[in-house]
């Protein structure tokens, strides 16, 4: 008997808090369904 298993891909994406998600959904309703979310990273903190 041959058993086939599929390798699972690591999940990619971003995590956001419940309140951040609610805010994005509110903006989406106000500004339309074509609203995009831009995410960036800024240097700083202890070593920057």
Q: What is the pLDDT of residue 1?
A: 65
* Whether the Cβ atoms of residue 28 and residue 35 lie closer than 8 Å to each other: yes
Which pLDDT belongs to residue 32?
A: 84
Give the tens place of pLDDT for each residue, 10-33. 777 888 899 999 998 898 899 887
pLDDT recorded at residue 2: 75
Q: 44: phi > 0 → left, psi -120 to 50 → alpha, else beta; which? A: left
Strand, coil or helix: what is 16?
coil
Model confidence over 32-48: pLDDT tens digits?
A: 878 788 888 888 877 65
Residue 14 CB partners (closer than 8 Å, separation 6+): 39
The pLDDT assigned to 48 comes to 56
């Amino acid at each position: 008997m041959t058993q086939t298993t599929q390798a699972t891909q690591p999940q990619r994406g971003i995590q956001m808090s419940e309140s951040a998600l609610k805010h994005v959904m509110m903006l989406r309703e106000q500004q339309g369904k074509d609203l995009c979310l831009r995410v960036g990273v800024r240097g700083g903190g202890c070593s920057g």
